[in-house]
């Protein structure tokens, strides 16, 4: 079993030491990347789809961060599907209108085939969410939302959901466990695309679900086995390695994001900046109350049309024009370039993921691209 560091240590310290082999003479400091699908019979691990020491080392590190038991999956979507697979037939699901596109599409598919009954809500409008909860089985929260950067009142939604017996699922990908701890606010299940900031290097796909309910954790592990959604050995290794530096990367990228957001807010080519660290942002008060900081993600609306926004995305030289987020490199993209994106996302909206480069270099590059519109 992987060794657990003392929980009295700060989270930043735990990140560095969690999920390592026992500190015994001759043991490696890191779990090796184990390339084996099967194991000699009779041991703790029998078959890789049921869980390996590599998976468990990552899970042992992730669980305490969120305050529950972690289960690793092959991707964020594999993790989301495992959660959806646990919903009862015909479940009424109240979901944020703006969730990650893949999650939105999947929920809509399940709704269309009658597996669930979907109620879409403005997740930032707590009263509207509560009003939609009557008879609900589950609430799917994302906060901040991708890509609109809305902030949900997770404690208020959780309390109201539990009053009607609904399970609260919270996609915590944008905030990371260092930015927000939904289980502590009442959520029942936390979802991460660890492909993003937890892995942090844009080099692999992996998903993580955390829950404090041991029966739900067991059920999710069974889903992983039956859906064939186990992560690979290399992916587990890479994500655990990324996790070690999450605190440093997040502190740097969040500080840079604040500076960049303030400058963007004053830029004539930018009509709106969506970043909860800015005065006047609709999510600012809630983020200050529920999060440790506004994070490294933001969205901007270019003062112009889709073509103008596309020009900005294609004119950067240091920022990477690509989808995804949470890597060491800063990323920018116009979300509506994807036909499946929610049509209510503005055409001229660019999603920005701030990385760990020198913020002055990032600004110089972005200002140069903005000067083209």
Ligand X SMILES: Cc1ncc(COP(=O)(O)O)c(C=O)c1O
Residues with a known catalytic role: 49, 100, 171, 196
What minimum distance in Å lies between the beta carbon of 38 and ligand X? Answer: 26
Length of the chain: 373
205 binds ligand X (CB under 6 A): yes
What own/partner pairs with CB < 8 Å and gap ≥ 24 does 115-119 have? Answer: 115/87, 115/89, 115/90, 115/91, 116/84, 116/87, 116/90, 116/91, 116/92, 117/90, 117/91, 117/92, 117/93, 118/93, 119/92, 119/93, 119/94, 119/95
What minimum distance in Å lies between the beta carbon of 111 and ligand X? Answer: 18
Applying CB under 6 A, the span of 18-26, 49-57, 74-82, 352-360 interacting with ligand X comes to 74-82
Using CB under 6 A as the criterion, what x/- string covers residues 256-295 for binding ligand X?
A: ----------------------------------------
What minimum distance in Å lies between the beta carbon of 179 and ligand X? Answer: 13
Containing 95, the helix (H) or strand (E) segment is: strand 91-96
207 binds ligand X (CB under 6 A): yes
What minimum distance in Å lies between the beta carbon of 134 and ligand X? Answer: 27
81 binds ligand X (CB under 6 A): no
70 binds ligand X (CB under 6 A): no
77 binds ligand X (CB under 6 A): yes
143 binds ligand X (CB under 6 A): no
Residue (14 or 193) nearer to ligand X, CB: 193
180 binds ligand X (CB under 6 A): no
Residue (158 or 195) nearer to ligand X, CB: 195
What minimum distance in Å lies between the beta carbon of 278 and ligand X? Answer: 21
296 binds ligand X (CB under 6 A): no
Residue (103 or 298) nearer to ligand X, CB: 103
- Work out the burial of residue 43: count CB atoms within 10 Å of its CB; fewer than 13 is exposed, 13-18 middle, 19 or more buried: exposed
Note whether 348 and 302 are within 8 A (CB). yes
Provide the terminal-to-terminal Cα distance of the chain, rounded to the nearest Å.
56
173 binds ligand X (CB under 6 A): yes
Note whether 345 and 148 are within 8 A (CB). yes
Residue (130 or 178) nearer to ligand X, CB: 178
What minimum distance in Å lies between the beta carbon of 171 and ligand X? Answer: 5
353 binds ligand X (CB under 6 A): no
d(CA 223, CA 220): 5
193 binds ligand X (CB under 6 A): yes
By CB under 6 A, what part of segment 31-60 binds ligand X?
Answer: none
Residue (126 or 353) nearer to ligand X, CB: 353
User: Angle 282-334-308 (CA atoms, 0-180°, nearest 5)?
Assistant: 100
Scanning the chain, the segments in alpha helix (DSSP H) are 11-17, 53-66, 76-85, 101-112, 126-131, 154-163, 214-227, 233-243, 246-265, 284-290, 306-315, 359-370
75 binds ligand X (CB under 6 A): yes
Query: Which residues lie below 8 Å from residue 59, measured CB to CB, with a gap of 6+?
Result: 19, 69, 70, 71, 72, 208
Q: Select the residue interacting with ligand X from 146, 202, 211, 310 (CB under 6 A).
A: 146
349 binds ligand X (CB under 6 A): no
d(CA 318, CA 330): 8
76 binds ligand X (CB under 6 A): yes
User: Angle 184-188-192 (CA atoms, 0-180°, nearest 5)?
Assistant: 85
By CB under 6 A, what part of segment 97-136 binds ligand X?
Answer: 100, 102-103
Q: Select the residue interacting with ligand X from 52, 81, 180, 195 (CB under 6 A).
A: 195
Query: Which residues lie below 8 Å from residue 32, measured CB to CB, with a gap of 6+?
Result: none
Query: Nearest Cα to 183, choosing from 217, 149, 150?
Result: 217
Binding site for ligand X (CB under 6 A): 75-77, 100, 102-103, 142, 146, 171, 173, 193, 195, 205, 207
């Amino acid at each position: 079993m992987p060794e657990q560091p003392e929980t009295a240590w700060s989270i930043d310290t735990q990140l560095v030491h969690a999920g390592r082999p026992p500190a015994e003479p001759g043991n490696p400091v890191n779990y090796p990347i184990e390339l084996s699908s099967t194991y000699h019979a009779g041991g703790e691990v029998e078959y890789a789809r049921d869980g390996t020491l590599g998976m468990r080392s990552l899970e042992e590190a992730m669980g305490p961060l969120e305050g529950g038991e972690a289960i690793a999956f092959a991707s964020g979507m594999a993790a989301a599907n495992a959660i959806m697979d646990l919903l009862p037939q015909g479940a009424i699901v109240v979901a944020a209108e703006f969730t990650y596109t893949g999650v939105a599409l999947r929920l809509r598919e399940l709704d269309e085939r009658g597996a669930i009954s979907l109620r879409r809500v403005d997740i930032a409008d707590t009263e509207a969410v509560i009003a939609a909860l009557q008879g609900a089985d589950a609430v799917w929260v994302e906060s901040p939302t991708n890509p609109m950067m809305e902030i949900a009142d997770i404690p208020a939604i959780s309390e109201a959901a539990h009053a009607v017996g609904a399970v609260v699922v919270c996609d915590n990908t944008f905030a990371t466990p260092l930015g927000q701890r939904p289980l502590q606010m009442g959520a029942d299940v936390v979802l991460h695309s660890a492909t993003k900031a937890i892995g942090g290097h844009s080099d692999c796909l992996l998903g993580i679900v955390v829950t404090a309910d041991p029966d739900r954790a067991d059920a999710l592990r069974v889903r992983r086995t039956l859906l064939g959604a186990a992560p690979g050995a290399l992916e587990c290794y890479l994500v655990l390695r990324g996790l070690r530096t999450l605190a440093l990367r997040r502190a740097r990228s969040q500080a840079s994001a604040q500076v960049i957001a303030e400058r963007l807010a004053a830029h004539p080519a930018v009509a709106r900046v969506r970043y909860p660290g800015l005065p006047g942002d609709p999510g600012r008060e809630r983020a200050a109350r529920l999060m440790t900081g506004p994070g490294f993600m933001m969205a901007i609306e270019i003062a112009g049309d889709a073509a103008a926004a596309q020009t900005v995305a294609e004119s950067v030289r240091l920022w990477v024009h690509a989808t995804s987020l949470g890597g060491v490199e800063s990323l920018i993209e116009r979300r509506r370039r994807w036909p499946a994106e929610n049509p209510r996302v503005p055409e001229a909206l660019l999603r920005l993921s701030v990385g760990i480069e020198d913020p002055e270099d990032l600004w110089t590059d972005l200002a140069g691209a903005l000067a083209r519109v």
